[in-house]
Structure 1
Amino acid sequence: MYSCADLKKGLKLMIDGEPHYIVAFDFTKPGKGQALYKCKLRNMITGSLFDRTYRSGESFEPAALEDRDMQYLYQDESGYVFMDNKNYEQVTLDEKTLGDEKYFLRDNMDVKILLFNGRGIGITLPNFVNLRVTEADPWVKGDTAAGNNKPVTTESGYTLAVPPFVEAGDLIQIDTRTGDYVTRVKE
C-alpha cells in the first residue's frame, strides 16, 4: 500500500478498480489543518484526465500492472498483434491505445507491453528507431523563410522536420520518446 508521502509524478495506482498514473503533483501545507496532496491523474485505460485532492493519512493500492517483453508481428483489421517471446501468446492492441507510437513499429521489433488483467493498455518502444524517408521536398538554396528544416514523410506515414540535406530514400534515426529527427544512418 502507498501512503500520501509516496505520491509523486509517474506513480501508478488503482482508483475505483482501474489503473491510473499521476501526471502532475502538488503538495500544500495550510497554516491550520492537514496537508493537502493535489494530483492530476490519467486513467490508463480510457485516457481521461481529472484532478483529485487527498489529505495526509490516506492510503492507495498499487496498480496491478505487468510489463512483458513481446515482439511486434503484424497489423490487421483487429489491430496490432504482438507475441510473447516466452510462451508465444499473442496480444492485440488497437490503434487508439497505440496513438502515434504506431508510426515507429517495425516488423519483428522487440517492445514492452503493459498489461492490466491480461489486456494490453500500453507500449514501451526502444528509444530510437530507423525509418526510411519516402517523401521529401527538394530544398531550394536560399529558402530560409521556413527556417532550417523541411518536412519529410517516412515509410510508416510519420511526418517530421529534418535538416535540408535529408532526401527521399535516406535512412534516418528518430527518437521515439519525442518523435524528433536524430541523425542520418549510413547503410
Structure 2
Amino acid sequence: MATTNDLRNGLVLNIDGQLWQVVEFQHVKPGKGPAFVRTKIKNVLSGKTVDRTFNAGLKIDTATVDRRDMQFSYRDGEDFVFMDLKSYEQTYVPAATVGDAAAYMLEGQDVIVAFHDDDVLFVELPAAVVLTVSHTEPGLQGDRSSAGTKPATLETGAEIQVPLFLNEGDRVKVDTRSGAYISRVSD
C-alpha cells in the first residue's frame, strides 16, 4: 500500500483487480480546494491509456513487479524465448505480450522482462537500438518531395523513414519507443 505522494513513472498500480502502469503524473495544488494528483495510466495487459485523478494523500494499492534482465534467445513459433542472465532459465513469452518491441529485437539482445506472480507483463527494450538497413531504394540527389526521407526495411523487418543519403548495409540507431531514425552509426 502506498499513497499518491509515492507515485512515479513506471510504478504499477492494482486498480479494481487490473494492473495499470503510471505513464505520467502531476501533483496539482489549486488556489482553492484540496490538492490532487493527475495521472495518465496504461493498462499493462491491453495497452489502453486513460487519465485518472486521485485526491492527494489517498492510499493506493501497488502491484509487485519483478523486472529481470534477460536476453532474447530465439523465436519458437508464435513465442519469443528469453533467457534469464542470472539463472539461465528460459521463459517463453507470447507474441501478443511482446507487442511492438518485436520489430526492434535481435537474437542476443538484452532486454528487461517484467513479471507479476510469475506471469510476464511486458518486455522493455533499451531506448535506442542499432540495426542494419537490409533494403532501401537509392536516394536521388535533389529529390526533396518527401522532406528528404525514404522508406527503409531493417534487418528485423521493421520499416522506418531514413534520410536520402543512407544505403543498404548502413547501420542506424533507432528510437524503440517511436520507431524514428536517430542517427547513422559508423563502425
The TM-score range, normalised by the shorter chain, is 0.7 to 0.9
Partner residue of 1:79?
A: 79
Give the partner amino acid of 1:31.
K
Whether 2:148 is the aligned partner of 1:185: answer no
Please state how far the C-alpha of 1:24 moved relative to its aligned partner.
4.1
For residues 2-59 of structure 1, the C-alpha deviation after alignment (integer angstroms, 9 at most, x for no partner) is 2133335543222123321223445364735x44434332221222333433334420
Task: Report the 3-state secondary structure (helix = DSSP H, G, I; strand = E; otherwise coil) of the residue aligned with 1:62.
Answer: coil
Equivalenced residue count is 186
Q: Residues 49 and 88 of structure 1: is their aligned pair in 2 closer, same or farther, counting only changes over 3 Å?
A: same
Contact 1:38 1:51 in 2 (8 A): yes
Counterpart Cα distance in 1 of 2:122 and 2:130: 21
Please state how far the C-alpha of 1:104 moved relative to its aligned partner.
1.3
Question: What's the TM-score once normalised by structure 2's chain length?
Answer: 0.85
Name which of structure 1's ranges 9-18 and 72-81 shifts more when overlaid on structure 2.
9-18
Contact 2:14 2:20 in 1 (8 A): yes
Partner residue of 2:176?
A: 176
Give the partner amino acid of 2:107.
D
Task: Report the 3-state secondary structure (helix = DSSP H, G, I; strand = E; otherwise coil) of the residue aligned with 2:5.
Answer: helix
Q: Residues 182 and 50 of structure 1: is their aligned pair in 2 closer, same or farther, counting only changes over 3 Å?
A: closer
Structure 2 gaps, min length 5: none
Aligned-pair identity (%): 34
Q: Residues 101 and 12 of structure 1: is their aligned pair in 2 closer, same or farther, counting only changes over 3 Å?
A: same
Q: CA RMSD in A?
A: 2.3
Q: Residues 180 and 49 of structure 1: is their aligned pair in 2 closer, same or farther, counting only changes over 3 Å?
A: closer
Structure 1 gaps, min length 5: none
Name which of structure 1's ranges 111-120 and 16-25 shifts more when overlaid on structure 2.
16-25
Q: Residues 173 and 25 of structure 1: is their aligned pair in 2 closer, same or farther, counting only changes over 3 Å?
A: closer
Partner residue of 1:31?
A: 32
The list of structure 1 runs, each at least 4 consecutive aligned residues, that deviate by more than 6 angstroms after superposition, is none
Task: Report the 3-state secondary structure (helix = DSSP H, G, I; strand = E; otherwise coil) of the residue aligned with 2:61.
Answer: strand
Partner residue of 1:54?
A: 54
Counterpart Cα distance in 1 of 2:82 and 2:145: 44
Question: What's the TM-score once normalised by structure 1's chain length?
Answer: 0.85
Counterpart Cα distance in 2 of 1:173 and 1:83: 25
Give the partner amino acid of 1:81.
V
| Within-5 A mapping of 1:61-72 | 61-72=61-72
Whether 2:98 is the aligned partner of 1:98: answer yes
Counterpart Cα distance in 2 of 1:87 and 1:125: 20
Give the partner amino acid of 2:124.
T
Partner residue of 2:160?
A: 160
Please state how far the C-alpha of 1:175 moved relative to its aligned partner.
2.8
